[in-house]
Amino acid sequence: MPEVSIVIAAYNRGALLERALDSVFGQTFGDYEVVVADDGSADDTLERLKKRGSRVRVLQLEHRGRPSFARNRAIEKVSGRFLAFLDSDDAWAPEKLERQVGLMRREPELVLCYTDTRFVDANGRSLYLQSSRERPGSGDALNALFERNFIALSTALARTDAVRSVGGFEESLRMAEDWCLWLRLAAKGRVGFVNELLCTNTVGHQEMTGDKTALFEDALRALDIVRAELPPGQRKRLAGLGRGRARMASMLARSYLFSGRAGDARRLYSRALADDPLRVEALPFFVLSLMGPRPAAALRALKRGAGR
């Protein structure tokens, strides 16, 4: 039985997946298995995986378009004590697993740990470090995680039994399913942080220019799903829950406002201010939403013109 099961969800990743696998096979920690859940790829992904032989176990799935579904099917099949997740376009530093497994062995109360990571664009140009944008959280991290997701998927190592006990990734979400899982795990136990740069995350063009409205919708849904699972008494002690819900509601409301959905924006701004009355930056946009879609459209056009 391997100590770590590495789960990779892939769809039409071909050459990108090669780099991810090379970073796995270059680990200084060797007691692991690799399971790739292929979401019905139509490119040369499967051919490339076959060349890896018995070093990689492949689950061939019908295309669903949901990484959460693919990862959960892999989680059902693994046998490792710990679960590590790796996106097919990301890569690990050689010491990544060694550092994290060591921490989890030393601190058995941890259900999850993560590392710092560098985000790069599709050409490998450095964009930023996770720790330079997000406040790392450890220990009782639920409050901090409710405010924002500071755990990149490819940096995470979790106890397999804990992941299974909370149902794995939330399959009703197309995005933010990783955040939902981290919240569920943080509600069960403590979170550890390895303060080392041990991962590289690639931010593709689609992620930078994609449907932000859909992302904000699913992120807000993730918060509501976990909130509903918490005992009422626990919700009252989590100030980060209100602030996180207010933050995501405000971001979604702004997206609605500037796409002409003033009524939906007004509803969400009201919700944001109810969750966090101190979120004063939402007030001007709330007032703007009361004026209907035209003023927001005019402001957006003005901002676009100033950016040229």
Same domain, 191 and 300: no
Task: Please state the pTM of the whole predicted model.
Answer: 0.89
Residue 213 lies in a domain: no
Asked whether residue 205 carries a pLDDT value surpassing 80, the answer given is: no
Cβ(142)–Cβ(186) under 8 Å?
Answer: yes
Q: Which of 268, 144, 139 is nearest to 213 (CA)?
A: 268
Q: How far apart are CA 233 and CA 237, in angstroms?
A: 7
Q: Residues 183-203: what's their mean pLDDT?
A: 95
Residue of 11 and 204 predicted with greater confidence: 11
- Give a yes or no: residue 215 inside a domain: no
Q: Considering the chain, what percentage of its residues have pLDDT values greater than 70?
A: 91
Residue 224 covered by a domain: no
The H or E element containing residue 103 is helix 96-106
Q: Are 83 and 92 in contact (CB under 8 A)?
A: no
Kindly report, residue by residue over 104-128, the tens digit of the pLDDT.
999 999 999 999 999 998 888 999 9
Cα distances (angstroms) measured from residue 224 to each of 122, 153, 286, 290: 33, 20, 22, 25
- Asked if pLDDT for residue 68 goes beyond 80, the answer is yes
| Mean pLDDT across the chain | 88
Do 193 and 281 belong to one domain? no
What domain range includes position 162? 4-208
Q: Do 33 and 139 lie in a common domain?
A: yes
Q: In angstroms, rounded to a whole number, what is the distance separating the alpha carbons of residues 42 and 109?
A: 42
